[in-house]
Structure 1
Amino acid sequence: MDSEQRKVVVVGAGSGIGAATAAHFHRNGDHVLAVDLRPNQTPAARHEQCDLRDASAIAALLERIGSGWDLLAYVAGVPGTAPAADVLMVNYLGMRLMAEGMVPRLREGGAIVTVASVAALGWQERIAALTGLLAATDAEAVKRWQEDQDPAYPVYSTSKQAAIIVAKRLAPTAWQKYGVRVNTVSPGPTETPILADFEESMGKEVLDTVKATIGRHARVDDIVPVIAFLGSSQARWINGQDIHVDGGFVAPLVAGAPIQL
């Protein structure tokens, strides 16, 4: 892995995977900026607060932190139990504004890693349906788009599908113009403080089925090393990819029944 100290921004560093990600880089001796909505005790060299639902707050944060960074890990996310507008603003538009704003602030060879979700499964078939959302660049446009959608379709899945698509579309330009890579990590159910919210919004029986199939839910230390790898020089030729970190749950859903041994 990279041996010299790097400058890392972790967004959503207050708890769960984000806190574990910030702590990982801090232990490695990197200069970590921990960004979250609320004050927290996550180990880091510097802390900043930012409401990711507010584009002006994101712009102000970017102005304050300046340039010369090596990695943006966007781990912030809200579950489907939150208001639909908040889910889309934090999981999709906030991520997009942070990523687009950070690209020119990253050094050549830098990286952006966003945490998406296996709940985004099927994003390829949803590109046309998400055209209006992907064209929305402000909160009001996002809210107007959502008002016309089928309320039965999980907004959390929509938000993560959009995040993956935007990351893939940003990746070629970021690489060609700035030498910056953009990838996403899609965990399965993970033992974090908001797991209960996912049980409520997705159905506890669904998550119990996932757990029974692969033996357990993920832990944060299953996810963080993948974020760290994608943000490192060892992943220098990985760009525009979405990496499932789910214990193999999704594989038979997309490839067919497992081969029996």
Structure 2
Amino acid sequence: MSSEQRKIVVVGAGSGIGAETAEHYHRQGDYVLAVNLRPSDTQASRHEQCDLRDAAAIDGLLDRIGSKWDALAYVAGVPGTAPAHDVLAVNYLGMRLMAEGMLPRLREGGAIVTVASVAALGWQQRLEELAGLLDATDAEAVRAWQDTQDPAYPVYSTSKQAAIIHAKRLAPAAWQKYGVRINTVSPGPTETPILGDFETSMGKDVLDMVKATVGRHASVDDIVPVIAFLASPAARWINGQDVHVDGGFVAPMAAGAPIQL
């Protein structure tokens, strides 16, 4: 048990990385609010349900939970097999509304960590294309933007690209006004209940190639400690960063062919 109890909000705490994040904090004696769409048996101090597609539901949740929290871990996400509007509503807009709504409810020195994905690769080249989505602050505007997009482009990738860009743009002001840091964690393929959905939407051959390259898929135990570190005082000078947690799969794409040993 930690010497000083912290107060942590974990959104998307019903299964996978979110459940393990909540239970990680619970095991070390922190006060954990586990937020999920449906009831769950995740170990936590308190449970709340929230439909992240609904801005009014998010506002209601924020009103109920009060202030003086130490960290928000936004782990909620839906895969690309879900309807496109739901993917953007949860992975991007719901995250944005929760993060911005939590800023005044976090203590100075607090942190927000959002789980993005290595599927967001290429976000730097899509800044102009995504400008309209980043300007959208409600479900109607997000839906209208998506309706103009090429349906062949993976909406899951779009949602995570937008999440990373938003975090990077919000981080400086959040630090200056509230003393709160914002970072993202981008896992590679991870053994969770929705891995099969990713095989369907991204292609099993693609995920098998990633697995063959680095030796295995990640486990939730590979990802959660990075979330916990970025949300901790030990990461006090890390802000506006996207951290790949992928076993090194992405590195050669940026740096060139790996050195053979």
TM-score by length of 1: 0.99
Q: Deviations over 1:135-178 (max 9, x none)?
A: 00110110110000000100000000000000001100110001
The equivalent residue for 2:26 is: 26
The equivalent residue for 2:14 is: 14
- Superposition map of 1:174-185 within 5 A: 174-185=174-185
Q: What secondary structure is seen at the aligned counterpart in 1 of 2:107? A: strand
> Would the aligned equivalents of 2:117 and 2:186 in 1 still touch at CA under 8 Å?
yes
Counterpart residue identity of residue 151, structure 1: P
Deviation of the 1:2 alpha carbon: 6.5
Q: What secondary structure is seen at the aligned counterpart in 1 of 2:184? A: strand
Counterpart residue identity of residue 176, structure 1: Q
Task: Verify: 1:70 aligned to 2:70, yes or no.
Answer: yes
> Would the aligned equivalents of 1:26 and 1:43 in 2 still touch at CA under 8 Å?
yes
> Would the aligned equivalents of 2:2 and 2:30 in 1 still touch at CA under 8 Å?
no
> Would the aligned equivalents of 1:35 and 1:49 in 2 still touch at CA under 8 Å?
yes
TM-score by length of 2: 0.99
Structure 1: tracts of 5 or more residues without a match: none
Task: Verify: 1:232 aligned to 2:232, yes or no.
Answer: yes
The equivalent residue for 2:4 is: 4
- Superposition map of 1:131-146 within 5 A: 131-146=131-146
CA 1:237 to 1:102, structure 2 compared with 1: closer, same or farther past 3 Å? Answer: same
- Superposition map of 1:148-167 within 5 A: 148-167=148-167
Counterpart residue identity of residue 175, structure 1: W
Distance in 2 separating the partners of 1:37 and 1:208: 30
The equivalent residue for 1:256 is: 256
Q: What secondary structure is seen at the aligned counterpart in 1 of 2:237? A: coil
Counterpart residue identity of residue 174, structure 2: A
Deviation of the 1:14 alpha carbon: 0.1
Counterpart residue identity of residue 259, structure 1: I
Counterpart residue identity of residue 144, structure 2: R
Distance in 2 separating the partners of 1:29 and 1:250: 35
Any runs of at least 4 consecutive aligned residues in structure 1 with deviations exceeding 6 A, and if so which? none
> Would the aligned equivalents of 1:2 and 1:232 in 2 still touch at CA under 8 Å?
no
Counterpart residue identity of residue 113, structure 1: V
- Superposition map of 1:98-177 within 5 A: 98-177=98-177
Deviation of the 1:254 alpha carbon: 1.5
RMSD: 0.9
Q: How many residues are aligned here? A: 261
Distance in 1 separating the partners of 2:21 and 2:211: 23
> Would the aligned equivalents of 2:2 and 2:28 in 1 still touch at CA under 8 Å?
no
- Superposition map of 1:80-91 within 5 A: 80-91=80-91
Distance in 2 separating the partners of 1:35 and 1:82: 20
Counterpart residue identity of residue 158, structure 1: T
Q: Percent identity?
A: 82
Q: What secondary structure is seen at the aligned counterpart in 1 of 2:186? A: strand
Q: What secondary structure is seen at the aligned counterpart in 2 of 1:19? A: helix
Counterpart residue identity of residue 50, structure 2: C
Distance in 1 separating the partners of 2:171 and 2:46: 28
Q: What secondary structure is seen at the aligned counterpart in 2 of 1:142? A: helix
The equivalent residue for 2:210 is: 210
Deviation of the 1:260 alpha carbon: 1.7
The equivalent residue for 2:197 is: 197
Deviation of the 1:3 alpha carbon: 3.6
The equivalent residue for 1:97 is: 97
Counterpart residue identity of residue 216, structure 2: R
Distance in 2 separating the partners of 1:177 and 1:164: 20
